[in-house]
Amino acid sequence: MTGQEEPVARRYLVLPHTERGMRIGLFGGSFNPPHAGHLLVSEIALRSLGLDQLWWMVTPGNPLKDKKELAPLATRISASEKLAENPRIRVTAFEKAFGENHTAKILAWLKMLKPDVDFVWIMGADNLKSFHRWQNWQQIACTYPIAVVDRPGSTLAYLSSKMAQRFNFARIDESDARRLAAMRPPAWTFLHGPRSSLSSTALRQGKT
């Protein structure tokens, strides 16, 4: 992209409103572009975990991904808003205002800012396989409960990933998922449900 990037509306740069005792899922990603697979993961998490809200944290940039194919942040936010019609899904880009793109630091800051909210980190099983490459990934697992949602081709990731092996003792059964938000981390669960084969990479490459 050339020229100045389109500015992001201020309402996306501040934290969504919360109330004491809320259960809120945090679903971070590039959303480049957002698609039905993101919605499916969100719906499974909302239902299985009994969440009041789920935040799509649209990141300015992922340190582990090539930024050359990354659409402008404002474009990805707009596309996310159009797709996420569920009123319990909030689209936010407060990471940009925070000026930090490492998840562990952002989540530590958020927990300090909102100690009266029960947050759960949400991720697709495809990301679980590479979770150990994230900066301070063990700190994340010890800061927030984690819900891993099944994705095509990644069902066995919860058995083979370094995160699953390291924190196997902290895994709870899916039948107890509604307790997860209030549990002291480390605590995590693997959620099964309908799966979508859509991926942002495939959509960008015109493979769907």
List average pLDDT for each run of 10 residues in the chain, which is 208 residues long: 73 96 96 94 96 96 71 96 96 90 90 97 90 94 96 71 94 97 97 60 45
What integer pLDDT is reported at residue 152 of this predicted model? Answer: 75
Q: Which pTM value belongs to this model?
A: 0.89
Residue 1, in any domain of the structure: no
Residue 87, in any domain of the structure: yes
Domain hosting residue 177, numbered range = 10-204
Residue 42, in any domain of the structure: yes
Number of separate domains in the chain? 1
What integer pLDDT is reported at residue 44 of this predicted model? Answer: 95
Residue 5, in any domain of the structure: no
What integer pLDDT is reported at residue 102 of this predicted model? Answer: 84
Residue 68, in any domain of the structure: yes
What integer pLDDT is reported at residue 208 of this predicted model? Answer: 47
Q: What CATH number does residue 92 fall under?
A: 3.40.50.620
Residue 178, in any domain of the structure: yes
DSSP string of the chain? --SPPPPPPGGGTSPPP--TT-EEEEEEE--SS--HHHHHHHHHHHHHHT-SEEEEEE-S--TTS-GGGPPPHHHHHHHHHHH---TTEEEE-HHHHHT---HHHHHHHHHHH-TTSEEEEEEEHHHHTTGGGSTTHHHHHTTS-EEEE--TT-TTHHHHSHHHHHTGGGB--GGGGGGGGGSPSS-EEEE--------HHHHHTT--
What integer pLDDT is reported at residue 39 of this predicted model? Answer: 94
Residue 174, in any domain of the structure: yes
